[in-house]
Amino acid sequence: MKSLYTICYISKAAPELKEQDIEELFSYTSKANNKNGVSGILLHSLDNFFQVLEGNEKHLLQLFERIKVDPRHGEMYEVYNKRTTHPVFENYRSTFDIVKNSEDLKTLIAYLNVDKSNSTNNKLKRLLQPFDMLGEF
């Protein structure tokens, strides 16, 4: 059986990044992840990126090595980098999701609220709170 893996981090967007660069990154990421069976979310707000990646361990670890050295962001803070038996996003909206506006974020938080007994859901919800309260999209 292939191991399922979760990676979650927050990073600072590079200051020179323009709206168009972010759109291109969003479009590349959702296409690549859907093609490669990677689920999760990517959000850009308050000059930060917040990303959750779930999928095959080997693929995710290789992908994360590329993401870590990508000059479009820095100052990465890793929240999760571990095997999982209960992926959170496997069944979320059926594709890798880009959180593009406050409505998307509210839908995501409502989804995380469905299973309050899951500690990963609760942690992600707490981390998303500042974006929900202060976020600009």
The alpha carbons of the chain give a radius of gyration, in whole angstroms, of: 14
Residue 88 contacts residue 34 (beta carbons within 8 Å): no
Q: In the bound complex, what is the minimum distance in angstroms from residue 32's beta carbon to ligand FMN?
A: 3
Q: Which is nearer to ligand FMN, 96 or 111 (CB)?
A: 96
Q: In the bound complex, what is the minimum distance in angstroms from residue 116's beta carbon to ligand FMN?
A: 27
Q: Which is nearer to ligand FMN, 14 or 129 (CB)?
A: 14
The interface with ligand FMN within residues 18-47 (CB under 6 A) comprises 25, 29, 32-33, 42
Distance CA 25, CA 13 (A): 12
Say whether residue 63 binds ligand FMN (CB under 6 A): yes
Tokens of 82: 């571990």
Tokens of 83: 């095997």
Residue 15 contacts residue 93 (beta carbons within 8 Å): no
Q: Which stretches of the chain bind ligand FMN, using CB under 6 A? A: 25, 29, 32-33, 42, 49, 51, 53, 63, 66-67, 70, 72-73
